[in-house]
Structure 1
Amino acid sequence: MSVADGGRQWPDEVSVENARATLLQLLARAGVPSDDARQLIGLLEAGALALAHEELSAARTVPREKGEEGVEEAGARAVLEELGAVAERTLVRAVGAEGEQGPAGERPRARRMEVERARVAVTPLYLSFTAVSELDPEVTDEVLAAVLGTMSPRQRAGYAGRLTEFAADHRTRLERMFAGFGPGSAITMHGRYSLLHSATSIAVLERLAAAPQELREEWDAVELPPAWLDGLTTAWNAPA
């Protein structure tokens, strides 16, 4: 059954639950663990609510007289506040509260779905600067796990946006770095510059800028080559 609104038909609660259950079953058949699948669906739901809140907030009518708020404006504000609260509760159900930590006070290890989301986010960014390299060291999961280990689950939920912002803010510098040290450059391959041949390089650079100490701790924990961080730092800081 659907809910009618001005001649339009909206899915009702039963239909929404049916769609969610169907998606969970399809993901299970594809080998996705139920917890990862539920988190992914929860992020989509929270994101849809947050984007609706943002769009409605931008379109909200300003009160006609300064300092006064009419009944309609007050009602609209109350609805927006509740929509924001629903989005927040949905996100908390999916990934936990901000700053949530593991039993020993440490950040929880990155889950398979979180690593996959990071991979999906970073790959097109990398390819906007350089080409696919045959010399990719193929340690994407290990590198991304170290990167995600510096963040809380809440921060990981918004990591794709953070990466996109980082790439946009430093586009010229990234273009210069990949031209000088990446695939197709005179430095075709060297142990120190291996990460320049991997899409994970952008993710690592963002963390080197935002949380260098935490990244090095996670890097050591998963036993990745320290020279890779040093080489990426050298390439990043190379003079123009």
Structure 2
Amino acid sequence: MPEPVPQRQAAITVYGDRAAAALRQVTSVLDNAGVAPEEIQELLALIQAGAIEGAQGDVLDLAERPPPDATAPAVQGWVAAVEAAAAELAHIADRTMTLARLAVRPAAPTAPPAPSLPTPIDEAPQEQVEQVLAAAERLFAELAGHTDYSREASLETLAVVLTAVAAEDQAGYVAQLEDFAARNRDRLMELYRKYGPGGELARLERSGLVEHPESIVICERLDAAPMWLQGVWDGEIEELTLERFAQLWQFGCHTPRGSRPSRAR
């Protein structure tokens, strides 16, 4: 007499526990033997899939052994149920192999973190203003050949302009400015040649900022963060001065701009 269904299910559970212990033991043995983890996973999956395939064969044999005295409709239902169970076992075997291969496949590279928003500052430290102005003066003398300007006025203007540089970029801003000047050397020289003191168009469209070294910093910010620069400028410095200078830098030079770095702020 066949065992009741609950008893058979309990026996299956026992085999499941033993199988899990056996898998751990085999994995340990193969690992100690130097077999690569991906090979271990695939070997075990092949054994499991093979066992499922063997079970599928046993299930299909049941189609030839319907219950005794079953009516024709019952036999048809029996065969259909057996075929459905066999098909599901085939899916389980395929899924076993797929999951094993996914488990050892190298993880897809994670997406780079979203860039963080720049951190604004309320006021640039005086030491930073002095350092940036010193760099701007050196560049300005080289590019414009002009040294007659009010350093006090330049310090006041630069203190405002530098609040359009993110807090995290302040420490490296001198290097960033020097890189900008190198990439845009020809364009800056054209700007000063045309509109600077003694320039060919100085009388027609002169902007006072062209006469000062901080103009290099303003050009860099106009390219990197124009809206931010405009925001800190408004209410602090005469608005028209920036507008006129921006027009000269953006539309008054024929020399192309240098390519911008990918992280410019």
Please, what TM-score do these two structures have when normalized by structure 1? 0.51
Unaligned runs of 5+ in 1: 1-97
Given the superposition, is the C-alpha separation of residues 175 and 151 from structure 1 closer, same or farther in structure 2, using an over 3 Å criterion? same
Correspondence for 1:117 among 122, 131, 150? 131
Residue equivalent to 2:238: 225
Residue equivalent to 2:32: none
- How many equivalent residue pairs? 138
Q: CA deviation at 1:209?
A: 0.6
Rounded Cα–Cα distance in structure 2 between residues aligned with 1:177 and 1:171: 10
Correspondence for 1:129 among 138, 143, 152? 143
8 A Cα contact 2:191 2:253, kept in partner: no
Moved runs in structure 1, 4+ residues, more than 6 A? Answer: none
Higher helix share: 2
Rounded Cα–Cα distance in structure 2 between residues aligned with 1:153 and 1:208: 18
Given the superposition, is the C-alpha separation of residues 213 and 190 from structure 1 closer, same or farther in structure 2, using an over 3 Å criterion? same
User: 1:107 and 2:148 equivalent?
Assistant: no
Residue equivalent to 1:60: none
Structure-to-structure mapping, 1:191-210, within 5 angstroms: 193-210=207-224
8 A Cα contact 1:136 1:197, kept in partner: no
Residue equivalent to 1:83: none
Unaligned runs of 5+ in 2: 1-115, 255-265
- SS of the aligned residue for 2:234 comes to helix
Rounded Cα–Cα distance in structure 2 between residues aligned with 1:206 and 1:125: 13
Rounded Cα–Cα distance in structure 2 between residues aligned with 1:239 and 1:122: 20
Given the superposition, is the C-alpha separation of residues 108 and 238 from structure 1 closer, same or farther in structure 2, using an over 3 Å criterion? same
Given the superposition, is the C-alpha separation of residues 138 and 182 from structure 1 closer, same or farther in structure 2, using an over 3 Å criterion? farther
Correspondence for 1:170 among 184, 196, 216? 184
Residue equivalent to 2:228: 214
8 A Cα contact 2:118 2:166, kept in partner: yes
8 A Cα contact 1:147 1:218, kept in partner: yes
Rounded Cα–Cα distance in structure 1 between residues aligned with 2:151 and 2:215: 11
- SS of the aligned residue for 1:129 comes to helix
Larger Rg: 1 or 2?
Answer: 2
Q: CA deviation at 1:239?
A: 4.6
8 A Cα contact 2:181 2:216, kept in partner: yes
Structure-to-structure mapping, 1:26-37, within 5 angstroms: none
Q: Percent identity?
A: 28
CA-based RMSD: 2.5
Q: CA deviation at 1:199?
A: 0.2
Q: CA deviation at 1:160?
A: 0.7
